[in-house]
Structure 1
Amino acid sequence: MRKRKVVDLYRAPFPLYTIKVDAATGLVITAGGGGASKTGIQNAVHFLDLQLIGKNQYSTSLLHSHDTEKRATMNMAVGDGVIAAGQDGTCSLMKFKLCQQKEEKAAHKHGNTIELSNARRRPGKAGKDNLDKHAATGEILDTRDETAHITVTNLAEVLSDLNPRDPLQKVVRFSPDMNLLLTGGTDGYIRIWEFPSLKKKFDFKAHEEEIEDLDMSTESKQLVTVGRDFTCNVWSGNQLVTGLNWYETRPQIAEKSYRYMACRFGYSADEKDALRLYTVQIPHRRDKKHPPCYITKWDGKILLPMLTSPCGTEVISSLAVSDSGRFLGLGTVTGSVAIYIAFSLQNLYYVHESHGIVVTDLVFLPNFLKGQNIKGNNKTAMLSVAVDSRCQVHTVTKGSKFGMSF
């Protein structure tokens, strides 16, 4: 079977580690860099303009690059015009604003010629005769261009990881109501601040080893955390409610042969107001047989496992859930990208080694950006970024049949 090829949507001059979509402004925000090492590789946050071309194609252009100096952004959360960026052991908060500016340009009389800017002329008769008319009367021809201008302001920083050896924030989230900022890092602590005041609410030791992921439910405000210590825990405030046990769905698998890698809440599109939690489990050790990874779907209210399905032998590196709750996105350490149906955990789309190196983040496009339909004739569209500096878009068009599994 011929390998499916995905065209790059954007390529940055540095490794990309995270990507988000701001539905209010329509901006795609991606970030990364070369870190503190003196390699000459930039550290920056890039703001991209995404456009739907025709019914199911996309194009993008760079609107603004914000230099983050000596620190690369490894993870981030976006909400209400604020970026919370994980940079080493700190969480840096930046406010961004998109302004549409109208630039007035003119055709000036210069000797016997008219000098026109490269802006579009107002509608009307074009050509040499029209220009000669303006030249003869000495009239100044006004033109206007509408250009996007982005301003970025550094707001504050908080220490989000206190590992004495190598502090590193691994994950950051805003609570669904935007009242809290939550971080997790290599020291195993969850730290929670009130937002936007950044007053420390509390912190607690959630895992014995570094934290891989966290997410907060929209209904019950329960917090789910994933650690490298084989556990996935549920918290109410800083109190442990329960630990999840996906082995109940696969009793033949020995405990501690797998560890949790990621967690995401999402609403079920097929069951009204049904909250679901999705977790990914990867082998703790790799061997020659390459055991499969697994996705587990949980009841988001009572937190009992509903369904577990294998998702291939490539080690999963990233997980995303669409806003509609219909689709799951998976990226792998070998650069492959897949889209699954959330209800049945069936594979719908797969590209082998689309990036060729570890996929660092995924995000689904919302149905609308700035009030305009951005999906076109696609069932869904998902963006991926990787260490290869590339941003790609993966689409499932209407009428597509089930894809091949990993």
Structure 2
Amino acid sequence: MAPIRKNIDDILARVNFPLYTVQMVTNRHVIVGGGGGTSKTGVANGFEIFELSHDGRRFVAEEVTRHETGGNVVMNCSVFSDNKHSYLVAGQESHCQLYNVNSVLVREEEEIESIGNHNSEVQQRKPKIKEKTDNNRNVKKRLKFSVTPSDSVQTDFTGPEPLSRVARISHNGKLLATGGTDGNVRLWKFPSLQPLKVLKAHRKEIDDIDFSQYGNYIITVAKDGDAILWDCVRGNEDKRLTWKQPEGSKYLYKRCRFGIIEGQENKSALYMLANPTGLAKKQKAYVQKWLPEEGILQKFAELDESLSALAVRDDGRFVAVGTMFGGSVLLYAAFSLQCVLNIPGAHSMFVTGLEFLPASTEKENHTVCSVAEAAVLSISVDNQKQCRFGLES
């Protein structure tokens, strides 16, 4: 690999509510969600969609859509797009809400006005939306979005305060998996939200769920300390992933993500975050790489701080991790789990979400990330959305 130069970009955007979830909508658009809940603080709840670009020096984010969700805070979301439709599901209190996401191409014109005398080369651009053009205007097309609520289903049934903690759409867009505080994982036909199966998965609330890219597997982790691999078609438990923990310690899994393995067709790796708890608080936290079908813990990396967020790039080359107390972001090479970048204090509070910008492919060489080897968006309850780093070859 060529020598790597590390870039740290500035804050991309500030929003007026805490952020809990982030997802790419297109190769150039990202959606973030969160809010202040039902408390009468005046803090909004909802989504914002930003268009991402690179101006030759740094990444830039421009807001294109804002959708508020009333009194319902957005704690998690999942996006699916095909050639015909785009869908968004979001966990809101006890329910999972389905949204239709429609895009429209809007013509914007930038009127160019000279500043100073007529010989000056300094120009000022004023964005305007117009129908006709002349020699003094440049036409720019921008993708706008509308987010329209559709069906809603209750996905958690625990006592007086049920809470939908996780919603995840399968890679082929045919299934939705949800998990909440009752410990059950519910499978739904997507996008009709027809109930299919209830997996009596865990004894405590679900922390995370993910679908494998290949096969019929889903992974679930919860506060009971278990990590369970399921056959989501048959609805059967395949295996429980166990490892030899340091003596006298207890660990809980926080996040789980499948990722493809470069050069190995139809095979996925599984990445998980494990945090010490109880008497083991001073022990290391772990980023783990599993071969899930074999139930083998293949590699791990140690950290001195508990972990809160995890992302795997779509081509399987990089893994990103966010920390709980220091608000740091770290980037690992997926093959070896070697740390290639560490940004201490990327946020002033714990990292709530990470999302890789899509990697360039032979078919699509014009993604925003094409200017760098890797780039990651990080969000936090400090209300900042950041593209904190890129790796340029």
1:231-276 per-position Cα deviation (integer Å, ceiling 9, x unaligned): 10111232222111122xx5x434x611111111111225454421
The 1-side partners of 2:312 and 2:378 are apart by 13
Of 23, 26, 42, 1:23 maps to: 26
Match of 1:113 in 2: none
Distance change (3 Å), C-alpha of 1:371 and 1:168:
farther
Deviation at 1:6, TM superposition (A): 5.1
The 2-side partners of 1:398 and 1:102 are apart by 33
1:387 aligns with 2:388: no
The 1-side partners of 2:61 and 2:300 are apart by 37
The 2-side partners of 1:190 and 1:96 are apart by 26
Match of 1:109 in 2: none
> Does structure 2 conserve the Cα–Cα contact (< 8 Å) formed by 1:89 and 1:168?
yes
Higher Cα Rg: structure 1 or 2?
A: 1
Deviation at 1:66, TM superposition (A): 0.4
The 2-side partners of 1:320 and 1:206 are apart by 23
1:265 aligns with 2:258: yes
Consecutive unaligned residues in structure 2, runs of 5 or more: 1-6, 112-125
> Does structure 2 conserve the Cα–Cα contact (< 8 Å) formed by 1:92 and 1:157?
yes
The 1-side partners of 2:60 and 2:340 are apart by 24
Match of 2:336 in 1: 344
Consecutive unaligned residues in structure 1, runs of 5 or more: 107-116, 127-141, 400-406
In angstroms, what is the RMSD of aligned CA positions?
2.5
Match of 1:110 in 2: none
**Structure 2 counterpart of 1:58, which letter?**
F
The 2-side partners of 1:93 and 1:386 are apart by 24
1:74 aligns with 2:75: yes
- The two structures have a TM-score, normalised by structure 2, of 0.85
Distance change (3 Å), C-alpha of 1:219 and 1:13:
same
State the SS of the aligned residue for 1:372: coil
Match of 2:306 in 1: 315
Of 38, 53, 56, 2:55 maps to: 53
Match of 1:35 in 2: 37
Match of 1:280 in 2: 273
> Does structure 2 conserve the Cα–Cα contact (< 8 Å) formed by 1:349 and 1:396?
no
Match of 1:226 in 2: 221
The 2-side partners of 1:176 and 1:193 are apart by 14
**Structure 2 counterpart of 1:262, which letter?**
R
1:31-57 per-position Cα deviation (integer Å, ceiling 9, x unaligned): 111101110001111011111221x62
Distance change (3 Å), C-alpha of 1:269 and 1:118:
closer
1:246 aligns with 2:232: no
Match of 1:404 in 2: none
The 2-side partners of 1:324 and 1:5 are apart by 22
Aligned residues: 362
The 2-side partners of 1:301 and 1:232 are apart by 13
1:380-405 per-position Cα deviation (integer Å, ceiling 9, x unaligned): 00001000010111333234xxxxxx
Deviation at 1:5, TM superposition (A): 6.6
1:331 aligns with 2:322: yes
1:157 aligns with 2:152: yes
The 2-side partners of 1:337 and 1:229 are apart by 27
The 1-side partners of 2:197 and 2:269 are apart by 27
Distance change (3 Å), C-alpha of 1:102 and 1:379:
closer
State the SS of the aligned residue for 1:366: coil
1:312-371 per-position Cα deviation (integer Å, ceiling 9, x unaligned): 111100111011111111111121111111111111111112111011110000025986
- The two structures have a TM-score, normalised by structure 1, of 0.83
**Structure 2 counterpart of 1:65, which letter?**
R
Of 91, 95, 102, 2:96 maps to: 91
1:139-187 per-position Cα deviation (integer Å, ceiling 9, x unaligned): xxx9866454322211110101111132111111111111011101111
The 1-side partners of 2:317 and 2:142 are apart by 36
**Structure 2 counterpart of 1:395, which letter?**
F
Distance change (3 Å), C-alpha of 1:123 and 1:390:
same
Deviation at 1:378, TM superposition (A): 1.5
The 1-side partners of 2:152 and 2:216 are apart by 25
The 2-side partners of 1:167 and 1:46 are apart by 26
The 2-side partners of 1:380 and 1:143 are apart by 32
Deviation at 1:204, TM superposition (A): 2.3
Match of 2:292 in 1: 300
Aligned pairs for 1:165-176 (under 5 A) are 165-176=160-171
The 1-side partners of 2:279 and 2:350 are apart by 16
Deviation at 1:118, TM superposition (A): 6.4
1:180-225 per-position Cα deviation (integer Å, ceiling 9, x unaligned): 1110111101011101211100112210001111112122211211
**Structure 2 counterpart of 1:169, which letter?**
S
Q: Give the ranges of 4+ consecutive aligned residues of structure 1 lying more than 4 Å apart after TM superposition.
A: 103-106, 117-123, 142-145, 270-273, 368-371
Match of 2:369 in 1: 375
Identical residues among aligned pairs (%): 32
**Structure 2 counterpart of 1:331, which letter?**
G
The 1-side partners of 2:358 and 2:343 are apart by 22
State the SS of the aligned residue for 1:234: strand
The 1-side partners of 2:109 and 2:211 are apart by 47
> Does structure 2 conserve the Cα–Cα contact (< 8 Å) formed by 1:23 and 1:368?
no
